[in-house]
Amino acid sequence: MELKQNVIIKVEKDSIAEELGIEPGDILLAINGQPVRDVFDYRYLINEEYLEMTIKTIQGEEVVAEIEKEYDEDIGIVFESGLMDNAKSCKNKCIFCFIDQLPKGMRDTLYFKDDDSRLSFLQGNYVTLTNMSEEDIKHIIFYHLSPINVSVHTTDLELRKKMLKNPNADKVLSIMKRLADAGIEMNLQVVLCRGINDGEILDKTIADCASFFPHAKSMSVVPIGLTRYRDNLYPMVPFDKESSIAVIQQIQKWQKKLKKEIDTSFVFASDEFYLKADRGMPSCEEYEDFAQYENGIGMIALMEAEFLEALEELNPKDSRERTFSIATGEAAYALINRLANRLMERCPKYHIQVFAIKNDFFGGEITVSGLLTGQDIIKQLKGKKLGEYLMLPDSLLRNDTTVLLDDMSIEDMEKALDIPIKITLNSGEALLKNMLNWEEQTL
């Protein structure tokens, strides 16, 4: 296997690397004679008190730097790639893949399908386990990369091969057993496709996955996201109110059963199912430790609880006349509008307008804020009286930038709407403080 070059792009000030004269542009070749495959090899190998680092300098000279340090002391170098390797692309052709539903002409990075267990550990990405070599599995076990987030989808193994269009998809349970036997914790996910892996098949999947508890810590069930760009793709039927209620009731039965058997509800339905069912959200207590929060499980309940708690603690009594607006996706509109009304009750001179932005770009089935585009926000707010400023959630920004999915920047939107835009962090307390114009809580 050819290793990616570990190009150094930054040397930390006052670090061991700076003292040794290591410079940006140098390449790390080996540590103690061992090649460095990725960031986990690197972190493992530098945890010694004596190191010999083989460096190829920017001038092309190969040198060996001898280092004496504390056991867990960092060297102080930053690499070109966070993984120190190329992310592994997905070989599946999943019938529910969201990336296959993107329109043409977007930036190239949006079309990359990763299925990399290292990104699962580092960033919380979900992996199917179908694209892993024996070396990859041993790598996870050796470095004890835990937890790993696994996209199970179904434990009907023949169906899983069909859904992922990958003959290796039937190995999921055997790989999960190896990980569990090695003490690796797993958070699991099912993307539910109506009429395909729901009903009795979902019952089997929950039962099989719960058998891995406590190594399998939690499981989320989320509905397939359907855009309007599905020409020539597998036909799918969206979940409606009735079918969403059925999914919720099915999961609640399992929660009750598993709570008695293993003292955890284990499996949780996404917020989207409750919104489609037009039902109230479970209480925060029912989400236990919010293990699947980043997967859209319990976000609404937690945000509301955080907001109301902060409202009582801060007890704002602002007598200023203030007018501003908030734009959000259709899924979160009712919550954000409800919270805005609570603040206006406390501060009667506040005038807050909340706008639900319809996702015309991807289609009406996509309702989350994180998939809104700048063009939809501008089109639907242009010409409206928005007040002093417009608030937007940080979930619609890409990778810690000020750019949305359609490459439109916040600055572009400010010019188009002729209004300052404030980005609020994804918590109830941050939302409240932004409403109160506490600058330190904005990005």
pLDDT at 114: 56
Class of domain 6-79: mainly beta
Confidence of residue 113 (pLDDT cuts 50, 70, 90): low
Query: What is the mean pLDDT of the segment spanning 372-391?
Result: 94
Give percent above pLDDT 90 in the chain. Answer: 50
Give residue 441's pLDDT band: very low, low, confident or very high (50, 70, 90).
very low
* CATH 3.60.110.10 fits domain 99-297: no
Share of residues in the chain with pLDDT > 70 (%): 91
Q: What is the location of CATH 3.80.30.10 in the chain?
A: 99-297
| For residues 340-369, average pLDDT | 92
Residues 116-126 as b/e (b if ≥16 CB within 10 A, e otherwise) read bbbbbbeeebb
What does the pLDDT average to over 369-375?
91
Residue 119 pLDDT > 60 = no
Lowest mean pLDDT among 29-33, 104-108, 112-116, 296-300: 112-116
Which one has a higher pLDDT value, 87 or 242?
A: 242
d(CA 310, CA 316): 10
Query: What CA–CA distances, in Å, run from 349 to 28, 98, 344, 354?
Result: 61, 44, 7, 16
In the chain, where does the domain assigned CATH 2.30.42.10 lie? 6-79
Structure confidence at residue 261 (pLDDT): 97
Closest residue by Cα to residue 372 from 390, 355, 358, 351: 358
Contact 221, 252 (CB under 8 A): no
Mean pLDDT of 112-139: 68
Check residue 247 and give its pLDDT: 97
Question: For 273-307, how does the pLDDT look when each residue is reduced to its tens digit (9 = 90+)?
Answer: 999 999 889 999 999 999 888 888 999 999 999 99
Q: What does the pLDDT average to over 52-69?
A: 89
Instruction: Say whether 356 sits in a helix, a strand or coil.
Output: strand
Q: Residues 95-116: what's their mean pLDDT? A: 70
Question: pLDDT tens across 214-256, in order?
Answer: 999 999 999 998 889 888 889 999 999 999 999 999 999 999 9
Instruction: Give span(s): CATH 3.40.50, the chain.
Output: 303-441
Q: What is the pLDDT of residues 262-273, one digit of tens each?
A: 999 999 999 999
Give the residue-averaged pLDDT of 6-11. 85
CATH fit for domain 303-441, picks 1.10.357, 2.60.120, 3.40.50, 1.10.287: 3.40.50
Per-residue confidence (pLDDT) for residue 81, from 0 to 100: 60
| Residues sharing a CB contact under 8 Å with residue 254, sequence separation 6 or more, in sequence order | 203, 206, 210, 266, 267
